[in-house]
Structure 1
Amino acid sequence: MKISKKILSLVIISLISVSIFGCSKTKEDKIKSNSEKYNIYEIKDVKSSDQGITQTIEEVGVFNNMTDASKKYTICKDVLNNENKGKVTVVVKFKVENNNDFAITNYTSVRPFVTNTGEVGDLIEDGTYDVDIDAKQSSEGYAVFNLVKTKVDELNNLKMWWIVSHNNGTESYDDDYCNDNKFNIELK
């Protein structure tokens, strides 16, 4: 009987030790994977070309939080605040090319996008490129959005609207160009 009590005590102590160690390790693993969770997608063949301007979507980064997104992309410190930093962050990297023989002042307005889950992205930054683009030159930048309901692995595609305009190299507003481009971006 003494031997069975000792064996039973050893079994109970072993079970408690294993469960404490196992739970703490599982918790650490979850925190580590959650804080570093992101996907970067290289985008091919998503562009619009009209009136001498070519807009190309080059890359989409989807991050578990804005802090991790700011490690990969240069995100303005003004938008890294407590309200935004814990939200899923989507960064759309783009390139604007001026294929005209004259310099343009290019004004783009990235509108919120709609995800495959039906959520509308909350635009928090888009002015990250040079708006004055010389003839036959280009400028790269990105737009930053937050999502509240959609998780990193749930985002499969997004539909994005982007207004682009330029002044046709003149000072007259009468011949300015403006177009609303639509992009369907498949991520998976």
Structure 2
Amino acid sequence: MDQRPLLFVDVDGPLNPYARSRRSAYRDGYRKWRANGFEVLLKHGHGAALTALPYELVWATTWGHEANVHIAPRIGLPKLPVCEFPVTGNHAPGLHAKTPGIVEYAGGRPFAWVDDEITRADRDWVDMWHPGPVLLHRADPARGLTAKDFEVLAEWVVPGWRWEGAT
């Protein structure tokens, strides 16, 4: 069994910077794709950058299993496991619907979660219900994952490890 920390990856925001101008996204290597009926901006280098991190990758996105069909091949990722969670549900006010499912999936293992919608409520809930080490990292949906984000993710797992990969 893989004992690396888990990295839960959201699509819209971190990988598809939906709040970004297309012009600046194109300058930074993003390309527009039609995926599952939506236009998305994706950067092929993100796949290699994610797999270079010392994590076991897991999708944590409302794209669900469709992320393996429409997103993974376009950014150079293999098929990843998918964290299931209800799109809507009975949960605390301000708590993201993904949060309880992510904590349950982790089962006490150390994990990082990168998403553009992480709030204080999510942090508080995870602190209360997850016994292991955790990093909740908010990605800016106007920038997508940047080299700085990859540095933060790498440093959390291996202190002193400097990110030198391309994004």
TM-score (norm 1): 0.26
Higher relative contact order, chain-length normalized (CA < 8 Å, sep 6+) = 2
TM-score (norm 2): 0.28
Name the structure with the higher helix share: 2
Asked which structure has the greater CA Rg, the reply is 1
Name the structure with the higher strand share: 1
